Amino acid sequence: MPKTESKHQVYTLLVQVGRSADDGMPEGASGAAMVCYSTGIDEAEAVRECVALLKRAGLAPLDVTGYGSLSERLAEGHDIPEEETELMQRALDENSVVVAQTTTLYDEEDSNGAEAKALKPGKPAGSKKGSKKG
């Protein structure tokens, strides 16, 4: 039987996560922003798979913003570095979710010491991969 080509595509997602017990985030962090590459037949499936994986990892996803598939991003004129393209291809080849960047977020305080609603980013972390299978 000939191998049929997958209709899966890889989608770029920005996921905001809140705090949960044993999430591994530094003390004082209010959450994190994660750039993920997730595969799916459509963006909705890619989002579901990414959120499920992050929940299994002990994180608390709050919001997901989709930036489209690789082909959609290229058609919109996005400049996508080779390193990013390689991570997207890895996600597609492995039918997985690749966390390409994690930025820890902290609540800002105004000059009166009151907590502001805006978040400021911390230092970005490295790349992590999680498989959707299993």
Q: Does residue 72 form part of some domain?
A: yes
Q: What is the domain extent for residue 23?
A: 9-131
| Sign of the torsion angle spanned by Cα atoms 9, 13, 19, 25 | positive
pLDDT tens string 62-73:
999 999 999 999
Record the pTM. Answer: 0.77
Q: Does residue 62 form part of some domain?
A: yes
User: Count of domains in the chain?
Assistant: 1
Q: Does residue 120 form part of some domain?
A: yes
Per-residue confidence band for 125, with pLDDT thresholds at 50, 70 and 90: very low
Q: Does residue 42 form part of some domain?
A: yes
